[in-house]
Amino acid sequence: MSADKLKKVSCVIAILFFSLGMTQEPDARTIIQRSVEANMRDWEAAPRYDFFERDLDPEGGSKTYEVRMILGSPYNRLIAINDRPLPAEQQAEEQRKFGEMIEARKHESPEQRQARVAKYEKERQRDHLFMNQMVLAFDFKLTGEEEINDHSAYVLKATPRKGYEPPNMEAQVLTGMEGKLWVDKTDFQWVKVAAKVTQPVSIVGFLATVQPGTRFELENTPVDKGIWMPSHYAMKSRAKILWLFTNKQQEDDTFFHYHLAETTE
């Protein structure tokens, strides 16, 4: 084979290998690593957005709030009950309370503001820690691909990881759960997470055991370029307290109309 022909064959082989590398699907570990990076960007961006939240009452009905970031922490202003706008008189009352809250925050002492914002950040850190612990608490297996909520997603099965040590009470429940994770193929964002308790989990420090039947779901949606935020969260918990009494709780919240937070000075 001549030198020219050998060079051409080498180029074709190189292009072929490059193309195969570009089209190769990532494995579960790579998908999870990239999703963690995406989640971090979302978490850092969250305080920049205002949104609306609709909470279902387990006994029936709903309440809708406008959630606004005001000088470092959010404020929930009630705007509707059972999907109906508030009567004019109640709207005026909610607007009055909103205005008073803004003025109060404007006139806080540095110590008061620091304490308020710190409380909000502590809650954010707790929620973020729980989501990060999900990655550490499970082994993930790529099982296929699905279209979900108008997104092409990788589907991963999550099973308890042997030897996982939860760092706090909230994470203890993960040791008895298994779940499913849908990760967007383009942005590597979590489109949906669904997990359920499959075996009783004793909560250290409390005379309580989380029972099978406890489950939660989280769905996310894109709100800006490269940024996703929660669109729906649902939770049902079942716990046995003192091994005698069963406590049941549930939550169902929808989040929508995300937009950059208005500046309030």
Each domain of the chain, given as residue ranges in start order, spans 27-259
> In the predicted model, is pLDDT for residue 223 greater than 60?
yes
Least confident of 19-33, 43-57, 135-149: 19-33
pLDDT of res. 242:
56
Q: pLDDT tens-digit profile of 84-137? A: 999 999 999 999 999 999 999 999 999 999 999 999 999 999 989 988 898 999
> In the predicted model, is pLDDT for residue 195 greater than 50?
yes
Q: Looking at per-residue confidence, does 124 or 7 come out higher?
A: 124
Q: How confident is the model at residue 7 (pLDDT cuts 50, 70, 90)?
A: very low
pLDDT of res. 230:
97
Beta bridge partners of 110: none
Q: pLDDT tens-digit profile of 129-187? A: 988 898 999 999 999 999 999 999 999 999 999 999 998 888 898 999 999 999 999 99
Task: Give the chain's largest Cα–Cα span.
Answer: 91
Joined together, the tokens standing for residue 206 give 């409390």
Helix (H, G, I), strand (E, B) or coil at 94: helix
Q: How confident is the model at residue 210 (pLDDT cuts 50, 70, 90)?
A: confident
In the chain, where do the E strands start and end?
A: 49-56, 62-70, 73-81, 84-85, 138-148, 151-160, 177-184, 190-197, 201-203, 208-210, 215-224, 227-241, 245-260
140 contact partners, CB below 8 Å, separation of at least 6: 28, 29, 31, 32, 156, 157, 158, 181
Phi-psi sector, 223: left (phi>0), alpha (psi -120 to 50), beta: alpha
> In the predicted model, is pLDDT for residue 3 greater than 80?
no
